[in-house]
Protein backbone atom coordinates (compact mmCIF):
# COMPACT_ATOMS: atom_id res chain seq x y z
CA UNK A 1 0.00 0.00 0.00
CA UNK A 2 2.90 2.28 0.79
CA UNK A 3 4.23 2.40 -2.77
CA UNK A 4 0.69 2.83 -4.13
CA UNK A 5 0.41 6.04 -2.12
CA UNK A 6 3.65 7.49 -3.50
CA UNK A 7 2.66 6.62 -7.07
CA UNK A 8 -0.91 7.94 -6.86
CA UNK A 9 0.17 11.25 -5.38
CA UNK A 10 2.90 11.61 -8.02
CA UNK A 11 0.37 11.09 -10.80
CA UNK A 12 -2.07 13.50 -9.16
CA UNK A 13 0.59 16.23 -9.41
CA UNK A 14 1.62 15.36 -12.95
CA UNK A 15 4.89 13.68 -11.94
CA UNK A 16 5.44 10.66 -14.19
CA UNK A 17 5.74 7.29 -12.49
CA UNK A 18 8.46 5.01 -13.84
CA UNK A 19 8.26 1.91 -11.60
CA UNK A 20 6.13 0.77 -8.67
CA UNK A 21 7.47 -2.36 -7.01
CA UNK A 22 6.94 -4.34 -3.85
CA UNK A 23 9.79 -6.70 -4.66
CA UNK A 24 12.09 -6.56 -1.63
CA UNK A 25 15.80 -6.06 -2.03
CA UNK A 26 18.70 -5.69 0.37
CA UNK A 27 17.76 -2.20 1.52
CA UNK A 28 13.98 -1.82 1.15
CA UNK A 29 10.70 -3.65 0.88
CA UNK A 30 9.41 -1.67 -2.09
CA UNK A 31 10.23 1.14 -4.44
CA UNK A 32 8.51 3.83 -6.45
CA UNK A 33 10.58 5.76 -8.95
CA UNK A 34 9.34 8.84 -10.69
CA UNK A 35 10.52 11.17 -13.40
CA UNK A 36 10.54 14.92 -13.38
CA UNK A 37 7.31 16.80 -13.94
CA UNK A 38 7.14 19.04 -16.94
CA UNK A 39 8.30 22.51 -16.15
CA UNK A 40 11.16 23.64 -13.93
CA UNK A 41 12.29 20.90 -11.51
CA UNK A 42 13.76 23.64 -9.31
CA UNK A 43 10.44 25.45 -9.03
CA UNK A 44 8.80 25.84 -5.66
CA UNK A 45 5.64 24.11 -6.91
CA UNK A 46 7.62 21.03 -7.92
CA UNK A 47 9.30 20.90 -4.51
CA UNK A 48 5.93 21.16 -2.77
CA UNK A 49 4.52 18.40 -4.99
CA UNK A 50 7.55 16.18 -4.19
CA UNK A 51 6.90 16.82 -0.51
CA UNK A 52 3.38 15.46 -0.95
CA UNK A 53 4.67 12.40 -2.84
CA UNK A 54 7.05 11.80 0.05
CA UNK A 55 4.29 11.60 2.65
CA UNK A 56 1.89 9.74 0.32
CA UNK A 57 3.22 6.29 1.20
CA UNK A 58 2.65 6.35 4.94
CA UNK A 59 -0.68 8.14 4.60
CA UNK A 60 -1.93 5.56 2.08
CA UNK A 61 -1.14 2.82 4.62
CA UNK A 62 -3.17 4.66 7.23
CA UNK A 63 -6.07 5.41 4.84
CA UNK A 64 -6.18 1.73 3.86
CA UNK A 65 -6.52 0.80 7.53
CA UNK A 66 -3.09 -0.81 7.83
CA UNK A 67 -1.50 1.63 10.27
CA UNK A 68 1.91 3.13 9.60
CA UNK A 69 4.37 0.57 8.31
CA UNK A 70 8.07 0.18 8.89
CA UNK A 71 9.16 1.80 5.63
CA UNK A 72 7.96 5.23 6.63
CA UNK A 73 11.02 6.28 8.63
CA UNK A 74 13.12 7.13 5.58
CA UNK A 75 10.18 8.93 4.00
CA UNK A 76 9.62 11.08 7.08
CA UNK A 77 13.30 12.00 7.24
CA UNK A 78 13.45 12.77 3.52
CA UNK A 79 10.26 14.83 3.65
CA UNK A 80 11.51 16.75 6.68
CA UNK A 81 14.81 17.56 4.95
CA UNK A 82 12.95 18.64 1.81
CA UNK A 83 10.61 20.86 3.84
CA UNK A 84 13.58 22.50 5.62
CA UNK A 85 15.25 22.99 2.24
CA UNK A 86 12.11 24.65 0.86
CA UNK A 87 11.97 26.94 3.88
CA UNK A 88 15.64 27.89 3.65
CA UNK A 89 16.08 28.08 -0.11
CA UNK A 90 12.73 29.56 -1.10
CA UNK A 91 11.77 31.41 2.07
CA UNK A 92 8.57 29.41 2.49
CA UNK A 93 6.81 29.59 5.81
CA UNK A 94 5.73 32.46 7.96
CA UNK A 95 9.14 34.03 8.48
CA UNK A 96 10.44 34.24 4.89
CA UNK A 97 13.76 32.91 6.14
CA UNK A 98 16.45 32.38 3.53
CA UNK A 99 19.61 30.46 4.34
CA UNK A 100 22.05 28.04 2.83
CA UNK A 101 20.67 24.55 3.62
CA UNK A 102 24.21 23.36 4.42
CA UNK A 103 24.12 25.76 7.38
CA UNK A 104 21.52 23.51 8.99
CA UNK A 105 24.20 20.94 9.81
CA UNK A 106 24.49 17.29 8.92
CA UNK A 107 26.40 15.89 5.98
CA UNK A 108 29.41 14.53 7.85
CA UNK A 109 31.73 15.39 10.71
CA UNK A 110 32.90 18.66 9.18
CA UNK A 111 29.35 20.04 9.22
CA UNK A 112 27.75 18.17 12.08
CA UNK A 113 27.07 21.37 14.00
CA UNK A 114 24.65 23.91 12.51
CA UNK A 115 26.15 27.24 11.48
CA UNK A 116 23.05 29.15 12.60
CA UNK A 117 21.54 30.06 15.94
CA UNK A 118 19.30 27.73 17.90
CA UNK A 119 16.51 30.30 17.52
CA UNK A 120 16.78 30.23 13.71
CA UNK A 121 16.88 26.43 13.71
CA UNK A 122 13.71 26.38 15.78
CA UNK A 123 12.04 28.81 13.36
CA UNK A 124 13.05 26.72 10.33
CA UNK A 125 11.79 23.60 12.11
CA UNK A 126 8.47 25.30 12.85
CA UNK A 127 8.03 26.46 9.26
CA UNK A 128 9.06 23.04 7.90
CA UNK A 129 6.55 21.38 10.22
CA UNK A 130 3.88 23.70 8.83
CA UNK A 131 4.75 22.69 5.25
CA UNK A 132 4.61 19.02 6.24
CA UNK A 133 1.23 19.52 7.92
CA UNK A 134 -0.20 21.22 4.81
CA UNK A 135 1.18 18.43 2.62
CA UNK A 136 -0.34 15.76 4.85
CA UNK A 137 -3.74 17.49 4.80
CA UNK A 138 -3.72 17.67 0.99
CA UNK A 139 -2.69 14.02 0.65
CA UNK A 140 -5.22 12.78 3.22
CA UNK A 141 -8.00 14.58 1.34
CA UNK A 142 -7.00 13.01 -1.98
CA UNK A 143 -6.65 9.52 -0.50
CA UNK A 144 -10.03 9.85 1.24
CA UNK A 145 -11.54 10.85 -2.12
CA UNK A 146 -10.01 7.76 -3.74
CA UNK A 147 -11.28 5.64 -0.85
CA UNK A 148 -10.09 2.58 1.00
CA UNK A 149 -11.69 0.00 -1.36
CA UNK A 150 -9.92 1.42 -4.41
CA UNK A 151 -6.60 1.66 -2.57
CA UNK A 152 -6.88 -1.95 -1.43
CA UNK A 153 -7.88 -3.13 -4.93
CA UNK A 154 -4.92 -1.33 -6.46
CA UNK A 155 -2.68 -2.84 -3.80
CA UNK A 156 -3.96 -6.32 -4.67
CA UNK A 157 -3.08 -5.73 -8.32
CA UNK A 158 0.43 -4.72 -7.36
CA UNK A 159 0.80 -7.75 -5.08
CA UNK A 160 -0.24 -10.04 -7.95
CA UNK A 161 2.46 -8.61 -10.23
CA UNK A 162 5.08 -7.37 -7.72
CA UNK A 163 6.28 -4.71 -10.17
CA UNK A 164 4.41 -2.41 -12.55
CA UNK A 165 5.98 0.04 -14.91
CA UNK A 166 4.52 3.53 -14.99
CA UNK A 167 2.12 2.87 -17.86
CA UNK A 168 0.85 -0.35 -16.26
CA UNK A 169 0.33 1.36 -12.92
CA UNK A 170 -1.49 4.31 -14.46
CA UNK A 171 -3.71 1.94 -16.50
CA UNK A 172 -4.55 -0.09 -13.38
CA UNK A 173 -5.32 3.07 -11.42
CA UNK A 174 -7.52 4.46 -14.21
CA UNK A 175 -9.29 1.12 -14.51
CA UNK A 176 -10.20 1.21 -10.82
CA UNK A 177 -10.75 4.95 -10.39
CA UNK A 178 -12.04 5.95 -13.80
CA UNK A 179 -9.41 8.70 -13.85
CA UNK A 180 -6.54 9.77 -11.67
CA UNK A 181 -7.67 12.70 -9.53
CA UNK A 182 -5.50 15.71 -10.23
CA UNK A 183 -4.45 18.29 -7.74
CA UNK A 184 -3.74 21.92 -8.36
CA UNK A 185 -0.43 23.53 -7.71
CA UNK A 186 0.51 23.06 -4.06
CA UNK A 187 0.23 26.20 -1.99
Above 70 in pLDDT, residue 116? no
Above 90 in pLDDT, residue 141? yes
Res 175: pLDDT: 92
**Neighbour order of strands in the sheet with 163-165:** 31-34, 17-21, 163-165
- Structure-model confidence comparison of residues 175 and 184, the more confident one: 175
Angle at 118 between CA 115 and CA 121, to 5 degrees: 75
Res 109: pLDDT: 42
| Domains contained in the chain, CATH given | 2-177 (1.20.58.760)
Nearest one of 27, 47, 23, 52 to 37, comparing CA atoms = 47
Q: What percent of the chain has pLDDT over 90?
A: 45
Res 117: pLDDT: 74
Res 102: pLDDT: 58
Amino acid sequence: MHEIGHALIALAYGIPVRIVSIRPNATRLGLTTTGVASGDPGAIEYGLARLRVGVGGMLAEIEAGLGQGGGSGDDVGNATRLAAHLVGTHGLGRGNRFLDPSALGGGGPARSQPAVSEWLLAQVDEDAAGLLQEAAEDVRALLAEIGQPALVALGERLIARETLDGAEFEAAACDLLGAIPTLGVPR
